[in-house]
Structure 1
Amino acid sequence: MWAQRLSGPFTFERVEVGAPRADGLAEGQVLLAPKAGGICGSDLPFFKGAPFLHAANPGSATTPAPGFPMHEVVGEVFASRHPAHAAGDRVVGWASAFDGLAELVVTDGEGLAGYDTGMAPTTAVMLQPLACVLYAVEQLGDVRGRTVAVIGQGPIGLLFSHVLKQRGARHVVGVDRVDRSAAAGTFGVDETVTASANLWAATLGEEDRPFLVVEAVGHQVTTLTDCLQAVARGGQVLYFGIPDDQVYPLDMLTFLRKNLTLRAGATLERRRVLTDAGSYLAGHPALREAYVTDVHPVDDVQAAFAAAIQPRPGQYKIVVDLS
């Protein structure tokens, strides 16, 4: 089968490798033929050369596994040992080994769900990040009537802005160094701030501080401090996503004196929240047209990743057509 392999920093190559066998599936696994994949911010450090302890390379910090790194996928079930999925089903969700850039992948069936197949796979792939956002917002409690801020207005940050507004947030502030004002109306952003997080936080008076700050930038440690500085006393900070560093410095004195809550966590109940994402998107169809801005053919995957590490106004979700 074909696969794209990350052979070095910033470099993909198309390779032919042995296909996984349907009779080799473990209980609960699915053999999936990916049709589209979304580039997630958590994939980008590996494109730039970060090591990853991949399941296909136990004990190794290199990443030669074919199909790596991509986990947001839409595809057709080729074979299944999961009771909710059968051959021929169209599903969306996780490639659990981050190896979605391949003709066939083995993945956990609990990380997949059906979707409205009236959507093109390159649109439906947005249900995976939306599911992650919906699950994260569930953990935050009631935000009705609150001022909230989302630091980072890329693809994930825009979804947070929309979901928080729909959950009743009174005022949503979107903070990004890239000008995201064109997306504000569609994604429920009441106030767009085009500045770094530390400069924005330094301008806030006590009456301006949001009750909730979502860190949706990732890949750095400094923005966590900016969130603590910006948030209101008694408020909460959500650090979303996969950290690049195992240890993050925490301004413990500010955290203590402001009586803050810090939240983080992975997405659980994946099949359930993928279904919830389908319902949410059906209720907000304008997101379908606005969210995915760039679709690249699979043989252009290197250019797709290169674009993703250089955010620009008007560029949101970048998707790879794997069909």
Structure 2
Amino acid sequence: MREMWAARLVAPSTFAHVSVPAPLAAALAPGEVLLRVRAGAICGSDMPLFKGAIQRQGGLGNHPDGAPPGVGCPMHEVVGEVLASRHPGFEPGATAVGWALGQDAIAELVVTEGDSLVPDDGRLPPAEAIVAQPLACVIYAVERMGDVSGQRVAVLGQGPIGVLFSHVLKTLGRAAHVIGVDRVDRSAEASAFGVDEFVHASCDRWAESLGPADRPQVVVESIGHQVGTLACAIDAAAGGGLVYYFGVPDDLVYPVPMHAFFRKDLTLRAGTTKDRPRVLRLAQQYLRDHPAILDAYVTNRLPMTRVQEAYDLAAAPRAGQLKVVVEAA
């Protein structure tokens, strides 16, 4: 049986390079696609698993409930060459972008569902084409917010997801005023992503400073990985406003300041991205319409063999660093 290269977490925040049996084209289930990975990008939702968390509910692919991460985990943002397909939308030789549903794309080859991919036209190198995946998630979330045109909106966190929210809310959503809040100084990137007002502060300090006229009608919580930032979003929002919690929650239960939520008559939304082929295609078109964001967005490109260094970078946010991408040789 043919062997392939992959990375495996052998301890919290520690990868080892391993050789494992390669997936077989003959073993594909209906709807599945076998990809040769050309690029993968690191998402904030990968960080808890990288740091040693064990998923307790809703296991993904090769990472079932309560089990340690499997080979190639954690990475789901992927661009790859189609080697074999049992999905009608893909033929061998094509390039695809989207989700590796097993979060197992730190490998030479990966199997995923064709319904979570779209063909890539090759106009962008893989390290840039991959931006369509996180952008698709953001576009889907902004669609679910309804009409935000003319509104004052705030995005808590101006990392790789937060800056995309700022740009899409300003450009596609036509928000009147976009506030970006982050403890990392993102002032140099703010204008490139449509941020009208950047606040270099923790979200709780910012929320405490707001007067009645300053409160945004929409607050996006794009920080994640803690329960307190949801309370910050609720505290900051204007009466009758919307709080959108983005991302996979790390904890099963999040406390909500119910008195403030009730008295302000707020709406809270969250959820995973559905209708993935449609929003991936919208994201691809968005990148064609706004190519300048790619230069500002993809800040770190490393070979796949330096995956440890890539994840160490992504785990330590800093000024001037946004999306970290790993590329196959």
Partner letter of residue 266 of structure 1?
A: T
Q: Which runs of 5+ in 1 are unaligned?
A: none
Identity of aligned residues (%): 57
**Distance of aligned partners of 1:250 and 1:59 in 2 relative to their CA distance in 1, 3 Å threshold:** closer
- SS of 1:6's equivalent in the other structure is strand
The Cα of 1:226 is off from its aligned counterpart by 0.5
Following the alignment from structure 2 to structure 1, what is the Cα–Cα distance between the partners of residues 130 and 238?
35
Letter in 1 for 2:17: R
Question: 2:160 matched to which residue of 1?
Answer: 155
In the alignment, is residue 255 of structure 1 matched against residue 240 of structure 2? no
Deviation at 1:118, TM superposition (A): 2.0
Provide the TM-score with structure 1 as the length reference: 0.98
1:212 corresponds, among 218, 223, 228, to: 218
Say if 2:54 is the partner of 1:48.
no
Which secondary structure does the structure 1 equivalent of 2:21 belong to? Answer: coil
Question: How many angstroms apart in 2 are the aligned matches of 1:273 and 1:57?
Answer: 26
Assess, with a 3 A threshold, how the Cα gap between structure 1 residues 309 and 58 changes in structure 2: closer, same or farther.
Answer: closer
Letter in 1 for 2:264: K
**CA shift for structure 1 position 56:** 2.9
Q: Give the Cα–Cα distance (whole angstroms) in 2 for the partners of residues 116 and 295 of structure 1.
A: 21
Contact kept in structure 2, 1:54 and 1:61, CA below 8 Å: no
Structure 1 residue 134 displacement after superposition: 0.3
The residue correspondences of 1:70-219 to structure 2 (distance < 5 A) are 70-166=75-171, 167-219=173-225
Paired with 2:18 and 2:308, the residues of 1 have a C-alpha distance of 14
Q: CA deviation at 1:240?
A: 0.0
- Taking structure 1 as reference, are residues 88 and 171 closer, same or farther at Cα in structure 2, changes over 3 Å only? same
CA distance, structure 1, for counterparts of residue 271 and residue 18 of structure 2: 35
Matched, 1:11 2:14: yes
Alpha-carbon separation, structure 2, partners of 1:58 and 1:265: 20
Q: Pick from 259, 277, 285: which aligns with 2:283?
A: 277
Secondary structure, in 3 states, of the residue corresponding to 1:2?
Answer: strand
CA deviation after TM superposition for structure 1 residue 47, in Å: 1.1
| CA spacing shift, 1:57–1:293, aligned 2, 3 Å | closer
Counterparts of 1:236 and 1:54, CA distance in 2 = 30
Give 1:170 shift: 0.3
The offset of 1:61, in angstroms, is 2.5
Letter in 1 for 2:115: E
Q: Unpaired runs of 5+ in structure 2?
A: none
State the alpha-carbon separation in 1 of the partners of residues 64 and 152 from structure 2.
45
The alignment's C-alpha RMSD in Å is: 1.0
Moved more, 8-17 or 147-156: 8-17
The runs of 4+ residues in structure 1 deviating greater than 6 Å are none
Which of 279, 295, 309 is the matching residue for 2:315?
309
Deviations 1:209-267, CA, capped at 9 Å, x for gaps = 00000000010000000001000000000000000001000111111110000000000
State the number of aligned residues. Answer: 322
